[in-house]
Structures are given as structure tokens and as C-alpha cells.
Amino acid sequence: MTEPAAAPIGVFDSGMGGLTVLRALRAALPGEDFLYLGDTARLPYGTKSPDTVQRYAVQAARILVERGIKALVVACNTASAVALDALTERYAPLPVFGVVEPGAEAAAALSGRGRVLVLATESTVRGGAYQRALLARRPGLTVLARPCPLLVALAEEGRHAGPLVDLALADYLRGMLPGDRGAVSSVLLGCTHFPVFRPALEAILGRDGATVVDSAETTAAALARRVGGADLPAARGGAGRLSLLATDGAERFRRVGRYFLGEPIPSVELVDL
Ligand code: DGL
């Protein structure tokens, strides 16, 4: 059996979007090995029922657990929102991390008594996990949430900037931009795909507009604080290695995934859940 310190950290998502979380994790923990699974055959999770997402999440996590990981990061916001407790219970004592709590923590800390807008998938918005996590930390906040399915589609197409992106963002933020009566003070990116739109979003919000909070970055920071602790030993030196698994479309994963990961993708192993 692999010694815990030398084992990789498992990361899973419904597809390629979670590579934005992996990118942040690798930047925060450059010495760690990562094993990533994208369930591309069953994407999107964001329009499916909580029961289905939970079942898929348990199956996806099982593959990683069977290969020997020392921690699991649920990069998918939709799965974090509905399946985190089920995963934590089923795979205990494996440390399991979701993206919702760290994202909410950072947005609540920044937002005072302001108005926070959560941009996410339909299921994440409907389940209300971000809304609850934000209000639990700051009951004085006004929390708004908008499902943005078009942004997932645009990101998957590799369109991260340009007129279509600006149109979609302007529409999703209608009435909440600086100068509007409903202007928000922060925007929380509650979906794996949305960090790629950060430059376009910040341009629309303007210099004095809302602060953008990226749950990928805050999750990476939360994990980095835990690595090296008693239940999660750190890797022992050397540059971290990366292995990638997908359930469908290895070629597309390599081609489009590089824009989410921010570096070329060497190889992708196809697996069946
Ligand atoms: N990974 C999903 C999330 O972060 C977005 C894509 C999907 O709907 O599966 O919510």
C-alpha cells in the first residue's frame, strides 16, 4: 500500500471545469501529486436531481478511493452542494473537502452587510447550499443567486471572452451592476467553469464594482492549511505529478481542458464508473 504522505490528492468534477480548481490546488500545493477524474460522460450535473448527483458523486469518488488517495476534493460545486455529507460519511476517515464552505467563508468575510450574488448551476441555486452557508456566517447579508447555464455551455465551447460572453454576463447581472438600484457588493463564482470569465466579469463590473470571489482559490487555500496536519501528511519533496482520468472524450478533454487548467494536458486515461 502507498504510504499516506506519498499518495495523491484525489479531485473530481462532472467534467473539465474542475480543472480550474485543480489549477488553484497545484499553485497552492506544488509538491503534491494529484489524481483528477472528470465524469465527462455524464456532464452536466447542474441540471440533474440531487439524488442522481449524489449517486454519480459516490461512484466517481469510489474510483479515486480505490486507486489510493490521501484526501478527496469535490471540485464540482453542484456535487459539493448536495453530496458532501454522503461522501464524507461513506469514505471516512478520508478527509473530504468541498468548494461551497470555503467560497462562502471568503465572500462573507468580504461582504460586511452587503449584497452578495452567487452565480452557479440550476441545481446549486435550487438546493440553496451557498445561500445557507453565507447567511450562517453573516445573517445581515442579502444573498441573491442566479443559475447561469449559458456560461457553462460557453466555457465548454472554449469561449471565455468576446461579445457573446459579455452579453450573457450583462444579462445574468441585469439590475445588479454598479449604478443599478440593486447593485451587489460581491459576486461569488459558485461553479467550476466560471473562473475563466473572471477578466470579462471584472471588466463589466468596473474598477469600483463588486469584488469577485473565486471558490476555486479559496478551496485551495483551505486545503493548503490542512496539508501537513495529523490526518493529512504532506508529500516529501519534489515536483508534484498529475494524472487525469475521464469517463468519455479523452481527445476533447485534452484539447479544451488545457484552457481550464492553464497548461497543456499530457494524457488522459478513460475509465468506466
Ligand atoms: N461542475 C459543475 C459545477 O461546478 C458545472 C458543470 C455541470 O453542470 O456539471 O456546478
In the chain, which residues have pLDDT < 50?
none
Residue 1's Cβ-count burial label (10 Å; 0-12, 13-18, 19+) is: exposed
Query: What integer pLDDT is reported at residue 152 of this predicted model?
Result: 92
Query: What integer pLDDT is reported at residue 236 of this predicted model?
Result: 85
Query: What integer pLDDT is reported at residue 3 of this predicted model?
Result: 67
Give domain limits for the chain: 4-98+218-270, 100-216
Question: If you average pLDDT over every residue of the chain, what do you get?
Answer: 94
Query: What integer pLDDT is reported at residue 214 of this predicted model?
Result: 92
Task: Give the dihedral sign, CA 229/235/238/239.
Answer: negative
Query: What integer pLDDT is reported at residue 46 of this predicted model?
Result: 95
Find out whether the beta carbon of 253 lies less than 6 Å from any atom of ligand 1.
Answer: no
- Closest C-alpha to ligand 1, atom 2: 76
Find out whether the beta carbon of 209 lies less than 6 Å from any atom of ligand 1.
Answer: no
Among 11, 12, 13, residue to substitute to test ligand 1 (most atoms within 8 Å of Cβ): 13
Among 49, 78, 151, 188, residue to substitute to test ligand 1 (most atoms within 8 Å of Cβ): 78
Query: What integer pLDDT is reported at residue 81 of this predicted model?
Result: 96
Is 76 an active-site residue? yes
| Phi, psi for residue 265 in degrees, rounded to 5 | -105, 120
Find out whether the beta carbon of 43 lies less than 6 Å from any atom of ligand 1.
Answer: yes
Is 148 an active-site residue? no
CA of 181 to the centre of ligand 1 (A): 30
Supply 122's cell numbers.
Answer: 440550476
Contact 26, 85 (CB under 8 A): no
Q: What is the per-residue burial (b if ≥16 Cβ within 10 Å, else e) of 58-88?
A: bebbebbbebebbbbbbbbbbbbbbbbebbb
CATH number of 100-216: 3.40.50.1860
Query: What integer pLDDT is reported at residue 2 of this predicted model?
Result: 60
Atom of ligand 1 nearest to the CA of 47: 8
Atom of ligand 1 nearest to the CA of 124: 10
CA of 45 to the centre of ligand 1 (A): 6
Query: Closest Cα partner for 145 from 204, 111, 84, 189?
Result: 189
Same CATH topology for 4-98+218-270 and 100-216: the answer is: yes
Query: What integer pLDDT is reported at residue 156 of this predicted model?
Result: 85
- Record the pTM: 0.94
Atom of ligand 1 nearest to the CA of 120: 10
CATH number of 4-98+218-270: 3.40.50.1860
